[in-house]
Amino acid sequence: MLGLKEEIVKGIEELGFEQPTPVQEKVVPMLLEKDIDLIALAQTGTGKTAAFGLPIIQKTDTSGKTLQNLILSPTRELCLQIARNLKDYAKYLPQLRIVELYGGTDIVRQIKELRRGAHIVVATPGRLHDLIRREEIDLSSVERVVLDEADEMLDMGFKEELNAILSNTPITRTTILFSATLSKEAEKISAEYMFEPTKITVGKRNSGNENVTHEYYAVHRDSRYAALKRVADMYPDMYGIVFCRTRMETKEVAAQLIKDGYNADALHGDLSQSQRDSVMDRFRYKNIQMLVATDVAARGLDVNNLTCVINYNLPDDTETYTHRSGRTGRAGQKGFSISLVTPRESGKVRQIERIIRCKVEKRDIPNGEAVCQRQIESFLDKMVTPVEESNEYVEQILPSMMEKFEDLSKEELVKQIVNQKFQELFDYYKDAPDLNNVRMDRRNDRFDRRDRGERGDRGGRRDYVRLDRFSMNIGQDKGLSAGKVIELINKVSPGEQIKLGRIDVTEKKTYFDADQSYSQFLMDALNGYDYFNSQVRISKVRRPNRDDRGGRGGYRGGGNRNGGGNRDFRGGNRGDHRQRSGRRHN
C-alpha cells in the first residue's frame, strides 16, 4: 500500500485503513521517494497526519537515538493526538521512540523522556522554545520539520517562537507545511525557511469542504437562542459544536441549553486544564451532544463524525468560517454548517460565499409542526431498526407485555406510544411563534432606528456623560484602528448607543474612553472576545485629570483618521469637541 513497508501496513490495517484519502495518495509516495520541501493545503480531517506521518516513520533510522524528525502543532490537544496516531501507525516498530512536548504539564518529566532518546518529537512551539532556551533539546540533527496547522500557529502568535525554533535546525533539513488555508504570514515563513517547495492542494485553495452543506437562518438578535433551540430540535441526532464569540456568551448559551434539557456543555478559556480535558473527552465519546465553544477554546479539538457546526454568531473573518465548517463533513461523510444571521450580518454571507465558492442557502426556521414531525419520524425510525442483541430481561417479560396490549390495535398502540413519548414536546410547540418575520435588508432591521437615533436626536446639545478609560491588549499589530474599535463595540452591543470619547491605538495596545454607565457591560462583553483569533483582554485604567469631570465629548481625536468607521458624529459643529456614539450612523 503506497510503497509502505509491511510492519507499517499491518499497523494501519488494524486501525481500519482501507483506501488512502486524496491527500495521502498525493503526499505519501512523494515523500517516500525523496525528502523535499512541501506545502500542502488540505482541510482538517482529510488524513493529513498519516500523509506526513507514515513517510516519516518509514524513513527514520532507529539503530541509534538521534533526533531526526520534528513536528510542530498549535495546541496541546493536537500535539497529543498526532503523537497517539504516530504510535498507533508504528505499533510493530517497537524501536521507534516518539516523544510529545507541550505546556500545562510537568516539564521535568518531559526532559527525562528526551534524555532517554527520541527519533520523533511532536511539540507545541511554546514548550519547545522553552526547552531550547534551557538547552535541554538539541535540534542540530533534525532532518525533517513538519509545521502542522501552520496558519493556526501564526494566528495564535507563535511567529517569534517558530523563527527561533527553525533557526536552530540545520539548513539542510526539509520542511513540510500543512494548512487548511495559506495566509500571507504563512507564505512569509515558507519564503524564508523553505527552498523551492512543491505545492499541492486537495480541493480548491481556501475553499469549503464539498461534503458540507452551508445554510443560514435569518434571526433577530433577541430570537437567536429560540432559533438555536428550533434547529437542535429539528436535528434530534445532531452531534456538533455551537460557536460563540465570547466566553460569557458561551457560558450563557450552554447553561440555558442544559437548563432546557439538552445534552450540552461549554468549552472556554476560564476552564482549568483538567476541566477542559474532561469536557473534551466527554464530547469525543459522545456523552455530550452539543459543545458550546469559542474558536480559541476549540483549537486542537479534533473530533470526527460531527454532523454539524452551528455559528451562533458569524465570525469576523471568512477563514475562521472555513475552519469551523471544516470540522464536519470529514472522511467522505456529509455535514452541515448552519449559521444564525441577523440583518446586520447579512453582508458577511455574501463574503463567505465568494471565499468558499459555494452557495449558503437561506432556510426558514422550522415551525412547531415541522419540529414535532421530525422528532416523531426519528423516533419511529429507531423503533423499526432491529437491535443487534435483544435484552434477556425483555425476553422474559415479553408475554406479560403482550397481554397488556392485546386489546389495542396496531394503530392505537402506535398512537399511544407517540402521545406518551412526545406530549411534553407537543405542549411546548402548541402555540410556538413564527420566528421567520426577519427582513435581511439592513435598512429594514428593526434595530436600525435605535442605531440611527430618532429624528429629534439628530442635533442640539448633548447630555453630559462621565467617561471611563479602558485598555485592550490588541492594537495595530492586529489591524486595529480607531474606526475598528467603534465597529468592535457595535458588534458586542447591538441596539445600544454607547458614547465614546478619545481612542488611541498603539502597536500592541488600544486605549479608549466610554460612557461610565456601560463600564461593566463592556468588561463582560469584550473580555474573552475572539478578535481574529486573538482573545481580547480589557481593563479600566486611570484617565488624564482634565477628562475626569466627564462632559460632552472628551477628545475628538485619537487613532488613525483613515481607520474605518463612520466619523460623522452627531451634534455640535465641526470646531467643537464632540462625543462619539459606539453605534455607526448609516
**375 and 362 belong to one structural domain:** no
Residue 204's pLDDT band (cuts 50, 70, 90): low
Give the pLDDT confidence score for residue 104 in this predicted structure. 77
Q: What is the rounded CA–CA span in Å between residue 286 and residue 241?
A: 12
Q: Would residue 556 count as lying in a domain?
A: yes
- Whose grid coordinates read 425476553? 395
454 domain-assigned: no
Crossing angle of helices 125-133 and 159-167, rounded to 10°: 50
The verdict on 393 and 350 lying in the same domain is no
Please give the pLDDT value at position 495. 56
- What is this structure's pTM? 0.59
Q: Which of the four pLDDT bands, split at 50, 70 and 90, describes residue 143?
A: very high
- 330 and 392: one domain? no
Of 367, 385, 402, the position where a domain reaches its end is 367
Separation in Å, CA 424 to CA 81, 413, 430, 470: 42, 19, 10, 48
Which among 575, 584, 569 has a CA at the least distance from the CA of 501? 569
Closest CA to 281 of 478, 13, 77: 77
Residue 309's φ and ψ, nearest 5 degrees, are: -120, 145
Contacts of 176 (CB under 8 A, 6+ apart): 31, 37, 38, 40, 52, 144, 145, 146, 147
> Residue 501: which H helix or E strand, with range?
strand 499-505
The pLDDT > 70 percentage for the chain reads 85
Q: Pick from 92, 75, 93, 71: which is nearest to 83 by CA?
A: 71
Q: C-alpha angle with apex 473: 471 to 474, nearest 5 degrees?
A: 110
Distance CA 161, CA 169 (A): 13
Q: Does any domain span residue 434?
A: no
Residue 584 confidence class, pLDDT cut points 50, 70, 90: very low
Mean pLDDT of 205-232: 83
pLDDT of residue 144: 96
CATH number of the domain that 505 lies in?
A: 3.30.70.330
Which residues, at least 6 apart from 119, have a Cβ–Cβ distance to it below 8 Å? 60, 61, 62, 65, 66, 67, 68, 69, 96, 97, 98
Q: Is there a single domain that holds both residue 333 and residue 481? A: no
**Would you say residue 331 has pLDDT above 70?**
no
The secondary structure of residue 533, as a DSSP letter, is T
Q: What is the rounded CA–CA span in Å between residue 203 and residue 373?
A: 37
Residue 534 CB-density burial (10 A; 0-12 exposed, 13-18 middle, 19+ buried): middle
pLDDT of amino acid 582:
43
Count of C-beta atoms within a 10 Å radius of residue 296: 19
453 inside domain: no
Q: Within this chain, do residues 529 and 470 fall inside the same structural domain, yes or no?
A: yes
Q: Tell me, what's the pLDDT at 574?
A: 31
456, part of any domain = no
Specify the CATH number for the domain of residue 269.
3.40.50.300
Domain count, the chain: 4
With 0-12 CB in 10 A as exposed, 13-18 as middle and 19+ as buried, what is 369? Answer: exposed
Residue partners of 517: CB distance under 8 A and separation at least 6? 465, 466
172 with 265, same domain: the answer is no
Residue 292 sits at φ, ψ, to 5 deg, of: -95, 125
- Res 544 pLDDT > 70: no
- The verdict on residue 206 lying in a domain is no
Q: Is the same domain home to 140 and 257?
A: no
Pick the last residue of a domain from 172, 201, 230.
Answer: 201
Query: Which domain-ending residue is among 138, 169, 201?
Result: 201
421 and 309 belong to one structural domain: no
C-alpha atoms less than 13 angstroms from C-alpha of 498 in its C-beta half-sphere: 28
Judge whether 447 lies within some domain.
no
Task: With beta carbons less than 8 A apart as the criterion, state whether 243 and 309 touch.
Answer: yes
Q: Which domain holds residue 499?
A: 462-581
Q: Grade residue 352 by pLDDT with cuts at 50, 70 and 90.
A: confident
Domain co-membership, 238 together with 347: yes
Is 240:324 a contact under the CB 8 Å cutoff? no
Nearest to 154 by CA among 132, 186, 128, 122: 186
pLDDT value of residue 209:
64
Q: Is residue 363 part of a domain?
A: yes
Q: Secondary structure of the chain: what % helix, strand, coil (to 5)?
A: 40, 15, 40
User: Do 79 and 135 reside in the same domain of the chain?
Assistant: yes
Quick one: pLDDT at residue 389? 72
296-322 pLDDT tens trace: 777 767 787 899 999 999 887 777 888
> What whole-number distance in Å separates Cα of residue 147 and Cα of residue 145?
7
Residue 556 sits in the same domain as residue 573: yes
Cα(373)–Cα(234) distance, integer angstroms: 9
Backbone angles phi, psi at 377, to 5 degrees: -60, -45
Residue 119 and residue 24 share a domain: yes
Contact in structure between 67 and 141 (CB atoms under 8 Å): yes
Q: Which amino acid is at 157?
A: G
pLDDT surpassing 50 at residue 133: yes
